[in-house]
Amino acid sequence: MILWLRPGWHVMVRETKTKTRYLLLLLGASLVTGQLALAASQTQPPADMSKQTQGSSGSKGGAKTESRKEGSQAAQLRRVDRFRIGPPVEARKLADKAASEALKTLPKLVTNQNVHSLGFDSLAQAKRARLGMPTGEYVVRLDELKMYDVSSDASRLFHRVERITYPIQADGTTRSAVEIVRAGEGWTVGTFGGASTMRALAEVRAATARRDGRDISSYFKATIPAFNLVFVAISRDDGVFLTPVADSPKYHLVKGQTLPAEQALNILSPAAKKHNGLPG
């Protein structure tokens, strides 16, 4: 069950004058990086002159190989950073604050009639609820999935959604969730609920993190709305990897079984071409 807030319980936190600050921070980081690179280049020891006597063809071939290698490494770093960079720090703080304030309204929303559908065993348990580790969300669009080619970079199909999902936990387990969404220059509560999906997401995220020896904050939520598919995802140096949170026999996807994004999208692309455009 998903519960939308009534106007009287609308929670919003606004931010001001942040875009300029972020731009200045990024510009400052670029300048510092440039200065460090320049200093490093000036302190490099002179190259062995004997190595410069090698044939020009070998030198050019080596340069091309190094150039391709550096280009590949740069592409990997851009891909990884694109997924690791969520909302700016100040915006995330505001989202966290909105989620905390939303949690205070939870006891007002939970009744004897909806307590179980919202994921709780009792009203008392709902009052003991706490927020867990949030996750950002990326979505794969149907139109782009239709055009996907397995030889292309799969990470380009994932688009960040201005939405953060916070698990709601009580008595040591995930019970429900609250979504905080971007609204203009602020963050507001979208929905409460989605208990079954959040439980599955939290379970698979924790299991995948233990198996890989990583922190759960390294993972994000990836969805393909056209097929109603949800994954726990991670971007690593060797690509984006997806772990289904539920079995999907039709597409040969197994809950908890991680596979490269290229493989998953290649499986789904033919079905996307036949899709009617409606949500799964």
State the CATH number of the domain containing residue 184.
Answer: 3.10.500
pLDDT, position 193: 86
Q: Report whether 268 contacts 227 (CB < 8 A).
A: yes
pLDDT, position 74: 55
Q: Report whether 108 contacts 101 (CB < 8 A).
A: no
**Is 138 domain-assigned?**
yes
- Between CA 178 and CA 3 the distance in angstroms is 9
Look up the domain containing 237 and give its range: 2-16+83-274
Give the pLDDT band of residue 268 (cuts 50, 70, 90).
very high
**Is 32 domain-assigned?**
no
**Is 51 domain-assigned?**
no
- Between CA 210 and CA 227 the distance in angstroms is 28
Residue 251: C-alpha distances to residues 32, 194, 231, 254 (Å): 48, 23, 13, 9
196 half-sphere exposure, CB direction, 13 A CA radius: 5
pLDDT, position 34: 43
Tell me which long-range contacts 192-196 makes (C-beta under 8 A, separation of at least 24). 192/2, 192/3, 192/5, 192/102, 192/106, 192/109, 192/118, 192/168, 193/1, 193/2, 193/3, 193/117, 193/118, 193/119, 194/1, 194/2, 195/1, 195/117, 195/118, 195/119, 196/119
Cα 207 from chain centre = 17
Instruction: Domain count for the chain, please give it.
Output: 1
**Exposed / middle / buried, residue 93 (Cβ in 10 Å: 0-12, 13-18, 19+):** middle
Q: How far apart are the first and last CA of the chain?
A: 17
**Is 70 domain-assigned?**
no
CA dihedral 125, 128, 129, 132 (to 10 degrees): -130
Task: Give the list of residues 6+ apart from residue 277 with CB closer than 8 angstroms, or none.
Answer: 142, 226
Collapsed DSSP state (helix, strand, coil) of residue 108: helix
**Is 238 domain-assigned?**
yes
**Is 194 domain-assigned?**
yes
Count of CB atoms situated within 10 Å of the CB of 106: 19
Give the pLDDT band of residue 248 (cuts 50, 70, 90).
very high
**Predicted TM-score (pTM) of this structure:** 0.70
**Is 230 domain-assigned?**
yes
Using the predicted structure, report yes or no on whether residue 8 has a pLDDT greater than 50: no
Q: Which pLDDT tens digit goes with each residue over 162-212?
A: 899 999 999 999 999 999 999 888 899 998 888 899 999 999 999 999 999
Using the predicted structure, report yes or no on whether residue 9 has a pLDDT greater than 90: no
**Is 177 domain-assigned?**
yes
